[in-house]
């Protein structure tokens, strides 16, 4: 199995509790290069918590996360990671920022990206907007876009640093069915055509069942990490 | 208007006012976007305690304001982590402590004097060359910091988690922004007065946001609004012999009302 040879994300016996309540117990899992992994489970199961632990936003009580074979404590190449949060929950619609300002924000963070010239940064922003089909909205205020368009902009922002691993936290919350379908097609394309590894937290697995090749199921604090189908699409 | 510039005290007032008009919106934009508008009020009360300490023990009140404001800034950030689920409590605690210390010290110093009133409500006559010198240094620190860090501060204000994932030192920059806010309070207190510093941090930015522009343009517009308020506020304050702080703040509120009015008219069309 090719994807097992090149692990880009590995969780090792992760335990986490909120105010003394254990949410995750001894959870181990791995995601291979170019995988499309779905993190599934009922509401409150700990899916978003697991994602935040993978991103270093929360520290586990026990266990460790490995990103590209580096312990997360020592991991520095954050431009390899993209993150798309739950849009509706976080966005202040009155925020005075243009689409271009939002999408280019990560280009001023890591040392590697900061050294790019103005033109190179502009090109990366253009490419990213093009990838999500939003080039014509670059000067529009982010709050004046529809929910689906805003989510595409968040993806463009995550893609601008050319990440190899993209995390998405219930990205279709508050988006209508048609837009949701288009959105999944876009994510699938990023995975298949551009080779970006996807880890997506979702409450409704049925919609993406045909696209994913790995399922990380959380229930009662534990994890089952299953390969759903191999790279040619054959179910296991 | 030119004749008022022949007086040295008015020249100093204008120089000080321009520093206030530039620094307040540059910091205020991040405070407003991070929904921390209360922080200016809190730190200005901490600075009042420092001024009262200076007056009581006979040292330059600016140093007292600077020290107390910086202590207040660090304490706010520490308390915000302690009360992570009630972050606003940290502001109330420092504000209470600041005003409490100030009142006790003013009492020990046997009450108010003209200089203290100047610090509280702003004064055009009281700005000394030494004040200008300190304000200048602090303004340079604030402006350079914003020039260097504005992209990261913007990212944190827009999406704090996203910024952290991208490798931005969010905790450090949040602390640094609070310290810069403290410095801005100290820069502004001489002209607009401790009780109105917070308005200068927030109102020009609030008006600029209503114009519906992107981040850089909104920041530039808020500086322009602040400059208009300060320059005309100082002129009116001189001719009508009224406190500059109140006049400047009322003018900036007037600009906000004007912007909202124009926006409402445009919507009707």
**pLDDT, tens digit, for every residue of A113-122?**
778 888 999 9
Integer Cα distance of B97 and B146 in angstroms? 29
pLDDT for res A89: 59
Cβ–Cβ gap B167/A78 under 8 Å? yes
Cβ atoms within 10 Å of A146's Cβ, excluding its own:
11
pLDDT for res A236: 40
Least confident of A3-12, B2-11, B164-173, B192-201: A3-12
Average pLDDT over all residues of chain A: 85
Domain range for residue B74?
8-259
Which A positions 106-125 lie with beta carbon below 8 A of chain B? Answer: 106, 108-110
Question: Does B1 reside within a domain?
Answer: no
The CA-based dihedral angle spanning residues B152, B154, B155, B160, taken in that order and rounded to the nearest 10 degrees: 110
Sequence-separated (6 or more) residues with CB below 8 Å from residue B93: B75, B79
Instruction: Establish, for the pair of chains A and B, how many residue pairs have beta carbons separated by less than 8 Å.
Output: 79
Question: Contact, B165 vs A56, CB < 8 A?
Answer: yes
pLDDT for res A1: 40
**pLDDT, tens digit, for every residue of A165-210?**
999 998 877 777 777 788 888 889 889 998 999 999 987 778 788 8
Phi, psi of A200 (to 5 degrees): -120, 125
CATH 3.30.70.2190 correct for A7-227: no
Question: Does B33 reside within a domain?
Answer: yes
Interface test with B, best of A59, A65, A89, A96 (most B CBs within 10 A): A96
- Rounded to a whole number, what is the distance in Å from the CA of B168 to chain A's nearest CA? 6
Task: Name the burial class of residue A65, with classes exposed (0-12), middle (13-18) and buried (19+) by CB atoms within 10 angstroms of its CB.
Answer: buried
| Three-state secondary structure call for residue A65 | strand
| Three-state secondary structure call for residue A116 | coil
Write out chain B residues lying below 8 Å of A90, CB-based. 159, 161
Question: Does B266 reside within a domain?
Answer: no
Instruction: Kindly list the distances between the CA atom of residue B63 and the CA atoms of A14, B23, B69, in Å, as whole numbers in the listed order.
Output: 50, 19, 10
pLDDT score of B86 more than 90 = no
Question: Contact, B89 vs B79, CB < 8 A?
Answer: yes
User: Nearest-CA residue of chain B relative to A85?
Assistant: B162
| Three-state secondary structure call for residue B198 | helix
DSSP states of B158-179: H-HHHHHHTT--HHHHHHHHHH
Q: Is the alpha carbon torsion for A173, A175, A181, A185 positive or negative?
A: negative
Write out chain B residues lying below 8 Å of A97, CB-based. 154, 158, 214-215
| Three-state secondary structure call for residue A81 | strand
Write out chain A residues lying below 8 Å of B213, CB-based. 96, 141
Integer Cα distance of A39 and A26 in angstroms? 16
Among the partner-chain residues B165, B168, B208, the one whose CB lies closest to the CB of A57 is B165
Cβ–Cβ gap B166/A78 under 8 Å? yes
| Three-state secondary structure call for residue B110 | coil
pLDDT for res A234: 45
pLDDT score of B10 more than 70 = yes
User: Nearest-CA residue of chain A relative to B213?
Assistant: A96
Would you place residue B109 in the very low, low, confident or very high pLDDT band (cuts 50, 70, 90)? confident
Write out chain B residues lying below 8 Å of A56, CB-based. 164-165
DSSP summary character for residue A194? T
Sequence-separated (6 or more) residues with CB below 8 Å from residue B27: B142, B146, B177, B180, B181, B184, B201
Question: Does B2 reside within a domain?
Answer: no
Residue ranges per domain, chain A? 7-227
Mean pLDDT, residues A144-163 taken together: 88
Q: Is the alpha carbon torsion for A32, A35, A36, A40 positive or negative?
A: negative
Integer Cα distance of B182 and B50 in angstroms? 12
**What are the residues facing A40 on neighbouring strands?**
A217
Interface test with A, best of B33, B173, B214 (most A CBs within 10 A): B214
pLDDT for res B113: 72
Mean pLDDT, residues B121-139 taken together: 90
Take residue B98 and report the two structure tokens written for it: 């600041």
Mean pLDDT, residues A152-170 taken together: 90
pLDDT score of B218 more than 50 = yes
Cβ–Cβ gap B167/A79 under 8 Å? yes
Write out chain B residues lying below 8 Å of A143, CB-based. none
Mean pLDDT, residues A34-42 taken together: 90
Cβ–Cβ gap B215/A101 under 8 Å? yes
Q: Which of A213, A205, A206 has its CA nearest to residue A35?
A: A213
pLDDT for res A44: 78
Residue A157 at interface with chain B, using a CB cutoff of 8 Å: yes
**pLDDT, tens digit, for every residue of A79-101?**
899 998 876 556 778 899 999 99
The two most distant CA atoms of chain A are separated, in Å, by 50
pLDDT for res B26: 97
Place of tokens 């001894």: A26
Cβ–Cβ gap A96/B213 under 8 Å? yes
Place of tokens 């499309």: A36
Question: Does B115 reside within a domain?
Answer: yes
Average pLDDT over all residues of chain B: 91
Q: Which of A94, A142, A101 has its CA nearest to residue B208?
A: A94
Would you place residue A56 in the very low, low, confident or very high pLDDT band (cuts 50, 70, 90)? very high
Cβ–Cβ gap B165/A97 under 8 Å? no
- Rounded to a whole number, what is the distance in Å from the CA of B20 to chain A's nearest CA? 23
pLDDT for res B56: 87
Cβ–Cβ gap A95/B33 under 8 Å? yes
pLDDT score of A224 more than 50 = yes
- Considering only CA atoms, give the Rg of chain B: 18
Least confident of A208-217, B224-233, B245-254: A208-217
Number of compact structural domains in chain B: 1
Integer Cα distance of B206 and B62 in angstroms? 29
- Output the domain CATH number for residue B112: 1.10.3470.10
B108 or A199, which is more confident: A199
pLDDT for res A207: 79
Take residue B76 and report the two structure tokens written for it: 């706010």
**pLDDT, tens digit, for every residue of B202-217?**
999 999 999 999 999 9
End-to-end alpha carbon distance in chain B: 38
DSSP summary character for residue B125? S
| pTM of the predicted protein model | 0.89
Among the partner-chain residues B151, B209, B215, the one whose CB lies closest to the CB of A94 is B209
Relative orientation angle of helices B170-192 and B61-82, to the nearest 10 degrees? 140
Would you place residue B1 in the very low, low, confident or very high pLDDT band (cuts 50, 70, 90)? low
Task: Name the burial class of residue B25, with classes exposed (0-12), middle (13-18) and buried (19+) by CB atoms within 10 angstroms of its CB.
Answer: buried
Integer Cα distance of B251 and B238 in angstroms? 15
pLDDT for res B112: 62
pLDDT score of A229 more than 90 = no
Percent of chain A residues past pLDDT 70, beyond the cut: 90
């Amino acid at each position: 199995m090719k994807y097992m040879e090149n692990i880009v994300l590995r969780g090792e016996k992760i335990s986490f509790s909120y105010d003394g309540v254990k949410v995750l117990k001894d959870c181990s899992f791995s995601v291979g290069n170019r995988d499309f992994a779905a993190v599934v489970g009922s509401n409150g199961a700990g899916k978003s918590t697991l994602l935040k632990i993978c991103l270093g936003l929360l520290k586990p009580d026990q266990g460790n996360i490995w990103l590209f074979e580096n312990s997360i404590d020592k991991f520095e190449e954050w431009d390899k990671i993209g993150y798309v949060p739950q849009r509706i929950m976080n966005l202040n619609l009155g925020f005075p920022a243009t689409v271009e300002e939002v999408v280019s924000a990560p280009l001023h963070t890591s040392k590697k990206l900061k050294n790019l010239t103005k033109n190179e940064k502009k090109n990366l922003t253009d490419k990213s907007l093009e990838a999500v089909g939003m080039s014509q909205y670059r000067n529009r205020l982010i709050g004046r876009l529809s929910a689906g368009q805003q989510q595409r902009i968040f993806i463009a922002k995550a893609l601008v640093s050319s990440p190899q691993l993209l995390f998405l936290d219930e990205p279709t919350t508050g988006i209508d069915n048609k837009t949701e379908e288009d959105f999944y097609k876009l994510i699938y394309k990023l995975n298949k055509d551009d080779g970006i590894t996807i880890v997506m937290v979702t409450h409704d697995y049925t919609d993406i069942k045909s696209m994913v090749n790995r399922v990380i199921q959380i229930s009662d604090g534990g994890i089952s990490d299953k390969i759903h189908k191999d790279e040619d699409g054959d179910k296991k | 208007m030119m004749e008022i510039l022949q007086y040295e005290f008015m020249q100093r007032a204008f120089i000080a006012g321009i520093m206030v008009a530039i620094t307040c919106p540059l910091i205020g934009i991040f405070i407003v976007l991070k929904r921390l508008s209360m922080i200016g009020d809190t730190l200005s009360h901490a600075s009042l305690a420092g001024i009262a300490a200076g007056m009581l023990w006979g040292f330059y009140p600016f140093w007292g304001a600077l020290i107390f404001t910086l202590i207040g800034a660090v304490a706010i950030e520490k308390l915000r982590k302690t009360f992570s689920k009630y972050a606003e409590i940290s502001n109330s605690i420092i504000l209470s402590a600041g005003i409490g210390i100030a009142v006790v010290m003013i009492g020990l110093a046997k009450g108010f004097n003209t200089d203290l009133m100047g610090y509280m409500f702003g004064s055009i006559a009281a700005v000394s060359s030494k004040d200008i010198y300190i304000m200048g240094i602090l303004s340079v620190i604030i402006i350079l910091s914003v020039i260097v860090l504005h992209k990261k501060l913007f990212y944190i204000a827009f999406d704090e988690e996203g910024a952290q994932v991208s490798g931005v030192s969010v905790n450090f920059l949040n602390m640094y922004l609070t310290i810069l806010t403290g410095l801005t309070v100290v820069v502004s207190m001489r002209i607009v007065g401790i009780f109105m510093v917070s308005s200068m941090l927030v109102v020009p930015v609030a008006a600029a946001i209503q114009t519906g522009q992107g981040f850089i343009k909104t920041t530039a517009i808020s500086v322009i609004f602040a400059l208009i308020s300060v320059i005309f506020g100082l002129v009116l304050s001189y001719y009508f012999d009224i406190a500059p702080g109140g006049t400047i703040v009322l003018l900036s509120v007037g600009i906000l009302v004007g912007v909202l009015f124009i926006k409402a008219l445009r919507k009707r069309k």
